[in-house]
Structure 1
Amino acid sequence: MEFLQQNKSDFEDYLLSEAVNVREKIEEILLVGNVDLLNNAHKLIRYIVEQNEADMITFAEQEGETWATHSLALSFKLDWIQAIRRTLWTFFYKYEQTKDHISDSLTFFELEKKVNEKVDVFLKSFFISYSDYKDKLILAQQRLVENLSVPIIPVTAATCVLPLIGTIDDSRIQIIEEKVLMEISDLRLQTLIVDLSGIIEMEAEIMNRLLNILDGTALMGCKAVVTGLRPGVVMKMIRSGVDFEKKAETKLTLQQALKDDLVMN
């Protein structure tokens, strides 16, 4: 480490000459992710030379989260670490030239094993951390999309409105089913108003799935009210033999349903 510190400037120059694809991105990576590649390179080198695996893994995990958070290109990270590996071995060779005697082959191979193992451990810990954090971000984004696509809006302590807009496919109807039943339980709902005024078309299979949701709502002791059925949807329901009135009250508009609910409560 003393030798590397004494030759810090030469080390950085050589590292940058090795990292051809990364050196032009150093300032951009610093700006986007607040990642100082050169400083972090010295930190990693110290962990490797001192064989400090515990702190190195922690550092790798932090780096993985940072690169995942800011969507920094993994190819740059891989190129950078491989450039660090090559540079480190070059300076090991230079260090050998400063000594009175050259290390024997056994010592060299032991050194090679220790150094390369630590580099590989760093890369493994980094990529696992990156992948895990990306998975968490994707899951959080999926949940956000689900919440936006199935918004359950409280009106009173016992009444909520579920306004459905756009197309309802198999995936979305499943989300609706899961969220409706959970919200009824969590909020102790007595009335759920399902507004379909934003639905222009609905397939017969989806209508039947919606009937199942209304059945589940009733089983949990919550009254269901369906509003805003469009003529086209009603005609398709008639042809398909689907009848919401047996499962829920129907109102022409959401405003009418809210007004009646407030009067009754």
Structure 2
Amino acid sequence: MIIEEYVQELERKIEKYEKILQDISAPIIPSIVPSTILVPLTGRLDENRLSNVRERILNSVYEQDIDTAIIDFTGIGHSEIEELGYGQLAKEVSDISHSLKLMGVEPLYVGFAPHIIRDIIDSGIAFPFKAHSNFKTALQYLMKKKKMKFDETSEEE
């Protein structure tokens, strides 16, 4: 009986740590642009992880007043996609895009490396989304769209 309780406690701990890992593997960060979230991705991608990312994004959108989600692939290279495959990556990104659009949210993607873009295009799956080379250009696009601009200030001595 003691061993069974110990195993159950270990299973609960593993479940808790897996949840923590899922949460930190796809952080949802508020942007400086109102009603916008940033989702930076790093590490190996697979179907389960991308499904978790989609679920976390959709829950954040539902719980907050969000109209734009910027999903950042800057930290993703060939080795992180190798197991998943470019065709599956294209499908998963398309699924995220469609889900967000159904919620009235504009998905923006940033940071795709040139070799990843080539392989995604070669996969033949159409991408119905707007992409930018980096986070800065996505923010510039959003600021222009929302008629916002930064005021530069200087400190006077």
TM exceeding 0.5: yes
- Structure 1 position 144 matched with structure 2 position 23: no
- Say what the alpha-carbon RMSD is for the aligned residues: 1.8
- Structure 1: which 4+ aligned runs deviate by more than 6 Å? none
> Of 51, 54, 67, which aligns to 1:174?
51
> Of 96, 107, 112, which aligns to 1:213?
96
What TM-score do you get using the length of structure 2 for normalisation? 0.79
Alpha-carbon shift at residue 154 of structure 1 (Å): 1.0
| 1:69-80 correspondence to structure 2 within 5 Å | none
* 1:54-102, Cα deviation, whole Å (9 max, x unpaired): xxxxxxxxxxxxxxxxxxxxxxxxxxxxxxxxxxxxxxxxxxxxxxxxx
Cα distance in structure 1, aligned partners of 2:12 and 2:61: 27
Cα distance in structure 2, aligned partners of 1:233 and 1:152: 23
- Structure 1 position 155 matched with structure 2 position 44: no
> Of 176, 194, 200, which aligns to 2:71?
194
| 1:92-107 correspondence to structure 2 within 5 Å | none
Alpha-carbon shift at residue 259 of structure 1 (Å): 2.6
Cα distance in structure 2, aligned partners of 1:223 and 1:259: 15
Specify the SS of the correspondent of 1:144: helix
Specify the SS of the correspondent of 1:207: helix
What's 1:252 paired with? 133
What's 1:32 paired with? none
Specify the SS of the correspondent of 1:250: strand
> Of 112, 116, 130, which aligns to 1:229?
112
Q: Which runs of 5+ in 1 are unaligned?
A: 1-123
Amino acid at match of 1:209: E
Specify the SS of the correspondent of 2:122: helix
Higher strand share: 2
Amino acid at match of 2:106: K
* 1:153-196, Cα deviation, whole Å (9 max, x unpaired): 11145100111123211221121122121121112311000111
Alpha-carbon shift at residue 129 of structure 1 (Å): 4.3
Q: Which runs of 5+ in 2 are unaligned?
A: 147-157
What TM-score do you get using the length of structure 1 for normalisation? 0.49
Specify the SS of the correspondent of 2:50: helix
Amino acid at match of 1:191: T
Higher helix share: 1
**Number of residue pairs aligned between Structure 1 and Structure 2:** 139
Identity of aligned residues (%): 23
Larger Rg over CA atoms: 1
